[in-house]
Structure 1
Amino acid sequence: MHFITGGAFNGKRKWVKKEYNRNQEKQWLSAYNGFPLPFTIPENHLVEVVLEGIEVWVKELTMRYDADRCREIWNGCLEAWISWEKERAERKLIVIGTDITKGIVPVKEENRLWRDVTGWAYQDVAAKSDKVDVIWYGLNQTIK
């Protein structure tokens, strides 16, 4: 699994498209386009799957559950995604999330919860990823 994060509108999508410009077709599942949180990845999905906008999926979880339950659900998804990727050597999972954890702490409790759970979710995905890149201004820095 490859985790890509960075600020909003800093070129994460463009970088991923350039970095993974291979002959393999990609299945691009984006929360920004209304795609729901994929609890699993179906067996028939292509070799490369990109999950984009994970902070949106985390926000949806925080609107329904407390922080502990959100993390439990999130880690269940991570395990299912990793299992899908490891079933075949040619499979690759690319996870993109916008960093919302910097800056001023939100005033509203629900936004603080979202920010906190997103930070924990990013720690979880980074820990379980084979590679982690941060994209700022279109430039990557590999941190794992």
Structure 2
Amino acid sequence: MHFITGGAFNGKRAWVKNTYGLTGSWLSAYQETPLTENFNHINSDLLVLEGIEIWIKELTKTYDSYRSREIWIQIINNWLSWEKAELERRLVVIGTDITKGVVPIERENRLWRDVTGWAYQDLSAMADKVDVIWYGLNQTIKQTGDEKQ
């Protein structure tokens, strides 16, 4: 799994398209695609999931921080199972960093921010590669020997 993060409108989508091409499936929370754990319907070896902070926000509307994180970790494990089921498969996960800056006043937005930060830590720990994109430029902050290209 390759996790890509960075600020809003900093070129994450363009960087992924340039790096991986447009030959895979692309699921975007920004286009109201629901959060899914099962990708058996995907007929591609490349799967890009975009806008995961939106899916995390939906979890925090229903569950407390601990339950949201438990569910999130299970979802990541299901995604990784899909990726590892076939040697050629590659999962790319894109999430906008909402954890910097002013702490929100509203309780629900603080919860969303906190859970997103924990979720990104979980993604980073489980990912083979992690890149931060700022102004269209990437910085690789994690790369294991298991990473696929």
Q: TM-score, normalised by structure 2?
A: 0.93
Residue 84 of structure 2 aligns with which residue? 86
Describe the SS at the equivalent of 1:143. Answer: strand
Residue 4 of structure 1 aligns with which residue? 4
Contact 1:11 1:136 in 2 (8 A): yes
RMSD (Å) for aligned C-alpha atoms? 1.0
Residue segments in structure 1 that go unaligned for 5+ positions in a row: none
Instruction: Give the whole-Å Cα distance in 2 for the aligned partners of 1:83 and 1:99.
Output: 25
Instruction: Give the whole-Å Cα distance in 1 for the aligned partners of 2:34 and 2:40.
Output: 14
Shift of 1:39: 1.7
**Is 1:110 aligned to residue 108 of structure 2?**
yes
Instruction: Give the whole-Å Cα distance in 1 for the aligned partners of 2:21 and 2:27.
Output: 17
Residue 29 of structure 2 aligns with which residue? 31
Instruction: Give the whole-Å Cα distance in 1 for the aligned partners of 2:42 and 2:54.
Output: 25
**Is 1:120 aligned to residue 118 of structure 2?**
yes
Identity %: 65
Q: TM-score, normalised by structure 1?
A: 0.96
Contact 1:43 1:84 in 2 (8 A): no
Instruction: Give the whole-Å Cα distance in 1 for the aligned partners of 2:30 and 2:106.
Output: 23
> For residue 90 of structure 2, what is the amino acid of its counterpart?
K
Instruction: Give the whole-Å Cα distance in 1 for the aligned partners of 2:51 and 2:113.
Output: 14
Residue 69 of structure 1 aligns with which residue? 67
Instruction: Give the whole-Å Cα distance in 1 for the aligned partners of 2:63 and 2:118.
Output: 15
Residue 140 of structure 1 aligns with which residue? 138
Instruction: Give the whole-Å Cα distance in 1 for the aligned partners of 2:6 and 2:60.
Output: 21
- For these two proteins, the number of residue pairs brought into alignment is 142
1:56 to 54, 57, 72: 54
Shift of 1:21: 2.0
- Deviation track 1:29-84 (CA, whole Å, cap 9, x = no partner) reads 00000001112222543100000000000000000000111011101110000011
Instruction: Give the whole-Å Cα distance in 2 for the aligned partners of 1:42 and 1:99.
Output: 29
Contact 2:25 2:42 in 1 (8 A): no
